[in-house]
Amino acid sequence: MAIEHSPVQLTKADFASDQMVKWCPGCGDHAILASILGIFPEIGYKKENFCVVSGIGCSSRFPYYVNTYGFHGIHGRAGAIATGVKIANPHLSVWIASGDGDATAIGGNHFIHLIRRNMDMNYILFNNRIYGLTKGQYSPTTKQGQITKTSPFGVIDYPFNPGELVIGARGTFFARAIDNSPKTLGEVCRAMAAHDGAAIVEVLQNCVIFNDKTHAEVTNRELKEERQLWLEQGKPMIFGKNRDKGIILKGNHLEVVEIGKDGITEEDLLVHDATRENTGVHMMLAQMCPPEFPMAFGVIRAYKAPTYNQIFEKQMEEASQDSPIKCVDDLLNSGDTWEV
């Protein structure tokens, strides 16, 4: 299902839209948009072959700000709409922009099922842990206890961790990035684009108005080196300001260790392998959070498996070769018929 490439090298300007971007000043969404505008020309497909689909929410305004074919759907349904786009036309590069409410509350069912099916698309999950467009109600990723407009006594719900959902649904690709780190955001999106199948990137995104600094425990300037573990394929898991901390697998759980202490060397550290089919370590990595652990960033899981669309197209091809019914006239006249 090759997607046709552009005969000329495209630039960021080819994808810039004429619409005024109406996100709040300081919103993390601006950085995500900038990253995507940078990556689309790099991917090299014809500009008409990108299709960006969204649901409802601040992040779901995304399609208006990228000059591609775009579809702004209804709340929660981006995944289902995009599924139809991709099955109907496998020669399109399909992208979804969705938020934590859109993807994991009202659209939770579509989210897990497109992952389970390994539907070939790129899904950016803007996680600001709040409903922004409706002005500040808690979402499925809001921390327990947080005061919001609809939780004046604190949120009672336990939150979802999107990574757990993705990996729990046996997703083939999950990565995590931060809105204020354009370089790493770009790298993660590039890896997502290169992955065949349902590729989900969770971007920790700041909502300056309704949930400012919600991710500060990992993004804070002073803390970030101690609280962010950037995973690299084939490399030991090292983090910390002095790059003196690492992750080991002890028994059936992960543990933070200091390199050089208690005889621990780099050799003892867990080496990242995103490509394994087994979800065990990927799940544990996705679950890590402060204060006990750093949070894992980068590509946590990228397992190569046939996509829904590859299998679908193969069935279509084989059926048309094997079946004696080649057109509707054949169908109408098949089976038991008689002349009067």
Partner 1 sequence: MTTKTLKEKENVVVRFVGDSGDGMQLSGTLFSETAALDGNDIATFPDYPAEIRAPHNTIAGVSGFQVQIGKRIYSSGDNCDVLVAMNPASLKSNLKWVMKGGIIIVDVDTFTDDAIQKAGYTNNPLEDDSLSSYILVKAPMTTMTVEAVKDIFTDKRSSERSRNMFALGMIFYIYSKELTYTDAYLDKKFKKTPDIIAANKAVVRAGYNFCENTDVLQAQKTVVGQAVMTKGKYRNITGNIATAWGLLAAAEKAKLPLFLGSYPITPATDILIELAKHKSLGARVFQAEDEIAGICSAIGASFAGAMACTTTSGPGLSLKSEAIGLAVMTELPLVIVDVQRGGPSTGLPTKTEQSDLYQALFGRNGEAPCIVIAASSSANSFYFAFEAARLSLEHMTPTILLTDGYLGNGSQLFRIPKMSDLPEIKPPFATPNDTTYMPYKRNPETLVREWAIPGMEGLRHRIGGLEKLDGKGSVSTESANHQLMVNNRAQKVQKVADRLPDQKVMGDEDADLLVVGWGGTEGALKLAVEELRDEGKKIAFTHFNYIMPLPKNTGDIMKKYKKIIVCELNMGQFVNYLRMNFENIPMLQYNKVQGLPFEVSELKEKFNQILGEK
Q: Which residues bind to partner 1, rule: CB under 8 A?
A: 19, 46-49, 51, 53-54, 56, 63-64, 67-74, 77, 79-89, 91-92, 109-110, 113, 312, 315-316, 319-320, 322-323, 325-329, 331-333, 335-340
Nearer Cβ to partner 1, position 217 or 313?
313
Q: Are the CB atoms for 4 and 91 separated by under 8 Å?
A: yes
Nearer Cβ to partner 1, position 147 or 331?
331
Nearer Cβ to partner 1, position 292 or 339?
339
Nearest-angstrom CA–CA distance, 66 and 202: 20
For 335, counting Cβ atoms within 10 Å of its Cβ (0-12 exposed, 13-18 middle, 19+ buried), the class is: exposed
CA proximity to 212, closest of 101, 102, 130, 100: 130
CB of 117 to partner 1, least distance (A): 9
CB of 85 to partner 1, least distance (A): 4
CB of 32 to partner 1, least distance (A): 17
CA proximity to 104, closest of 129, 121, 133, 82: 129
Q: Give the count of alpha carbons within 13 A of 283, CB side only.
A: 13
CB of 78 to partner 1, least distance (A): 9
CB of 116 to partner 1, least distance (A): 9
Nearer Cβ to partner 1, position 194 or 316?
316
Nearer Cβ to partner 1, position 119 or 237?
119
Nearer Cβ to partner 1, position 18 or 222?
18
CA proximity to 294, closest of 255, 251, 249, 252: 255
End-to-end Cα, the chain, rounded Å: 47
CB of 93 to partner 1, least distance (A): 10
